[in-house]
Structure 1
Amino acid sequence: MGYIEAVVIPAGARRIKVVEDKPSHSFLALKDSSERSINNDWKIELPGEFELAGTTVRYVRRGLWEKMSARGPTKSPLHLMVLLFHDQSYGIHYEYTVSMNTTQDRSSEEQKEPEYLYIWTHSSWQDCTVQCGGGERRTVVSCMRIANKTMEVVNSSYCHPENRPHPQVRLCNSHPCQYRWVTGEWGSCSVTCGKGLQQREVVCVYHLQNGSLIHTRDLYCQGGKPPPLQGCEGRLCLTVWEASEWSKCSSDCGQGVRTRTVTCTNPQGLCDPLSQPTQEEPCEDHSKCYEWKTGDWSKCSSSCGKGLQSRVVQCMHKVTGRHGNDCPVTLRPPTYRPCHQGACNEKINVNTITSPRLAALTYKCMGDQWTVYCRVIREKNLCQDMRWYQRCCETCRDFYAKKILHKS
């Protein structure tokens, strides 16, 4: 099914005629080198006249019967195709003429057609390739010269070799042969291990009408004699070990061991233990040597209410303890977490106090939270910021108390 190319009609062809042998559901198709076409690309045209390859092609369709014709000459090759469907048997007849460039007398220069025409024809059929059992016979393709309405076979050099059509092929002598080859079963291999030979019986027999077979001479059977010998390989070898894939390394950081399964596949279990592959070997893997290490949580940043705690998070080697960057980022532990130290003084909310001096007089101080840094905060005069005042309220309160005293 689908498009099948039947023939390429060369440039310069005249008197082109294509006819279906009988009505069918298939379609004739034609296209030139410029992609102009009839019934191509699964598009079926209405009958009419079409311009292809520099000539007018007349397309006729009556029911299921089709015909194409053109006077020519064509300026480019024409591809004749058939869109086949479910037709079990299909045939077409096509013909065209191609003129040869021969020397002409002045008196014949005005003639449109040359004096001699040379065309390829299927002149006869060859004999069948076999006498029975199904063979092929092909047509004899000959070069013919047309002169004065007569045709004669001439040397093939007079016709264009590129225009020579392929021989037509038909099946022949499909009846079963009376003489035929009969083959037996293959015998056992000549060796039990390694490469050897096995043989079978091949005889020529004559088939009687009652169905019985008679052994006869080999020369009566046609075709090549089937081989009585072929190579083989014995499987009962002493060393037939099969090993599975290696397992993963037992350690994901440093040296470890990987294993595999080794089995004897000999049917009798005869495997040489000296040639057995190893089942265990050392391995080394450093893909998971680094892991996250965390320190202790710090005190809450606030003596009352909500605050924060922090800790040190580092990527370190499991064995050496060295710092690295190969820890998985998605598994990094948190550095901060919220904390709560109970409710603050309800009467005085430190977040609403805008003056540190007022805080020194009214804020209930529970002691310094950052004792190490409070002295620096006082020296850098950072007690004015309420955030630092909360963490160093005792040091800052003393600072403002002395300041107020000094002014008075």
Structure 2
Amino acid sequence: YCVKKNAGGNYINISSTLCDSNKHPMDVQNCNQTVCPEPKLRALEVQFFQMDKLKRVKLTIGMTATILPGTTVLIKCPTRGIQIQDIKWLKNGTTIRYSKRVKLTRKRFLKIRNAVPEKDSGIYSCKAGSLQSNTPVSFSSVYDIFKATMLRQKYISGIQPMNLVARSISTKQMDPVSRKYSPLFLVKSDWSACSATCGGGLQSRNVSCEIITRDYFEVFPVRFCTKAGHSAPLLIQSCNTFPCLEWSLGNWSECAASECVRDKTALIKREVSCLSNDQAMNDTSHCESLGTIPPTEMECSNKDCKAVWIASKWTRCIGECETNGFKTRSLDCVWSKTRLSAGKECSSLQRPRTMKMCEMGSCSCTDESEYCSVVKMMKFCKFENFRRNCCVSCKKS
């Protein structure tokens, strides 16, 4: 203001034109010259899974939540550079109609009392201007709870070795639900089946970084665990690196040249080997994992497989001279073409005879004893033995 001091010593306002404009004090100055923060929704990339009853669950936007029916859910939307009154809440892309059960708190948190699957499953969004972050809410089944509990039972029951339990703040993480520091665990699933049965394959597993309590667990990005001091987990590994084995099958032998086993039937053969993929020969026992060894023998039709009797030559006539004697021969059952033994395959065939009668030749006539003259004189020639040994003397009689 432009003022003047009157006779009474008081200041009175006068026209600004009466004051020296060069001495006019500044009536405007700069303030709050720091750069305004970029508007941001402080979302959390965390999965929440409820395993037991809780009266209330306090979530942060960005989290994925699986809860039990009847739980009261509170979702907050922390921001930076955004006025609280600019926050709007949506469900499945539509503005929420508030009620006594679903409403906003004084701090613009979304509160759902006694949530039920039929009404409250969906994607909840916190929106401020062009910014938006989502929290999907679903409800867990008994099977989901059982499966989740079994995988984490060793952590819940305290069986997990103590050297793997985080003990200091540096190896812990702020639990966004309880607002307390809690240890982080690397939860590893079983390895998957190997992608190859031999020759080298790959198998994988799921590894998650979690805060685990008896009532719920939360899944954080794995980088949280590595920053907290856990070793980087192996997600993929080689498996079944031993060589692949296979049966190597040779060619069947020719049926026409193969061993006969019965009438019109022969037995063909082939070689069967156990080979690795580098063509190295292995004992056949190494290929047992492939199943039963392929057959090495098989019957085939061969019309030349015909069993016949073959006989040897007759022996000379056996017997006493000037009497009926006999001849014999041996028989063999053989295959007609190869003349190899056919065993009992001739049993149904007529068996050739192996003996026949024959006539002995004349006996040689000599006196074989110096006493033959006595034999004749004593009339012993009537006895065959004397007659044979003294043939000449006895004939003269």
Q: What range describes the TM-score normalised by the shorter chain of this pair?
A: under 0.3
More strand by share: 1
- What is the TM-score of this pair, normalised by structure 1? 0.23
TM-score by length of structure 2 reads: 0.24
